[in-house]
Amino acid sequence: MPLEPYACANCGYWQRYFAPPPDCPVCTDTRNDLPHDGWRFLSVPEIASMLTGHWRSLRPDMVAFSTSPPLGLNGTGWLLLHQDGNIAFEAAPFYTAAMLSEIERLGGIRFLAASHAHGYGALWQLQDVFQPEVLAIQKDDLRMTKAFRVTWPYDDALELRPGLTLHHVGGHYEGQAVLHDEHRRILFCGDAFKVDQNERGENLAVSTHKAFHKEIPLTRGELRRYRDVIAPLDFDTVCTPFEYAPGVTRAVALAVLDDGLRGPPGVRHIPMRDLARAPQEGSTT
């Protein structure tokens, strides 16, 4: 029997199965809610008829791919343009023919990676179409990768190319990783941080969590791990699978973690105005 890709209508997670799958491992996980009205899985033709593809350049060498109306977690696929081979990190819920043509026009994909299952989107499509040289996922997330083939599992860190390095942070998901882009000064942080933004895309508050909707906090050890990994990395922007957030700097990110380490466990949405006042590293005051 041929295996067909199906997307969970509740969260958007893709599985290849011989029939609509019996359940969804993302939705049955502690960190997520089950669909209140039962399982519904969507085939590629159904999804293709539902969604419209979009892309926008955030800077001359970086494009964000998304679809509408929202499907599941509704993440963003980031494409970083390089003359000798592009990097795609995270993925949109689905790639329409027009989106795939645009990626082709921009030079295809040489390196493909994602932070954790909530950022996978339709990663399998990008692998099928562009056959990237490397598909890198941290080894503790391998159990979620059945819809595609990981070609480069890694332990603590993996440098995809000079200045672009994946770092394992764990925490929210055991295998969660971040991608640090030294030259663009961006941390693609997965769900290590959540940025609350208004409709104009302005940053209102930042939080960190084990589970966002269920408000399960991270342990102190997990917060310390985030801090240990992130503290040496220089950045002035974070990109979650859902938000592009210039102004969420390393100092802001560390202030969120320090609040977690000081206080009782909790998922606190700390206003940007309070985080911006956090002492800067190296400050003498």
- Identify the CA nearest to 132 among candidates 103, 98, 168: 103
Applying CB under 5 A, the span of 3-11, 98-106, 128-136, 177-185 interacting with Zn ion comes to: 3-11
Tell the smallest beta-carbon distance from residue 209 to Zn ion (Å): 9
Applying CB under 5 A, the span of 21-29, 57-65, 145-153, 264-272 interacting with Zn ion comes to: 21-29
Site string for Zn ion, 58-97 (x = CB under 5 A): ----------------------------------------
CA distance 122 to 92: 6
- Widest Cα–Cα separation across the chain: 68
Tell the smallest beta-carbon distance from residue 63 to Zn ion (Å): 22
Site string for Zn ion, 27-46 (x = CB under 5 A): x-------------------
Is there binding between residue 225 and Zn ion (CB under 5 A)?
Answer: no
Tell the smallest beta-carbon distance from residue 161 to Zn ion (Å): 25
Tell the smallest beta-carbon distance from residue 102 to Zn ion (Å): 26
Three-class SS state of 100: helix
Tell the smallest beta-carbon distance from residue 28 to Zn ion (Å): 8
Applying CB under 5 A, the span of 8-16, 126-134, 160-168, 223-231 interacting with Zn ion comes to: 8-16
30 versus 285: smaller Cβ distance to Zn ion:
30
CA distance 95 to 104: 12
DSSP summary character for residue 241: S
Residue 111 pairs in a beta bridge with: 87, 134
Among 110, 118, 209, 268, contact with Zn ion (rule: CB under 5 A): 118
Q: Letter for the amino acid at 252?
A: V
Among 5, 6, 7, 8, contact with Zn ion (rule: CB under 5 A): 8
Among 90, 141, 181, 191, contact with Zn ion (rule: CB under 5 A): 191
Residue whose structure tokens are 């081979």: 85
Among 7, 24, 160, 195, contact with Zn ion (rule: CB under 5 A): 24
Among 5, 6, 7, 13, contact with Zn ion (rule: CB under 5 A): 13
Number of residues that bind Zn ion (CB under 5 A): 9
Among 5, 7, 10, 41, contact with Zn ion (rule: CB under 5 A): 10
Tokens standing for residue 71: 């499907």
> 220: buried, middle or exposed (CB in 10 Å: 19+, 13-18, 0-12)?
exposed
Task: Let me know: does 241 contact 73? Beta carbons within 8 Å.
Answer: yes
CA distance 128 to 50: 21
CA distance 265 to 259: 10
Tokens standing for residue 236: 């002035």
3-state helix, strand, coil split of the chain in percent (to 5) is 20, 30, 50
- Which residues lie near Zn ion (CB under 5 A)? 8, 10-11, 13, 24, 26-27, 118, 191
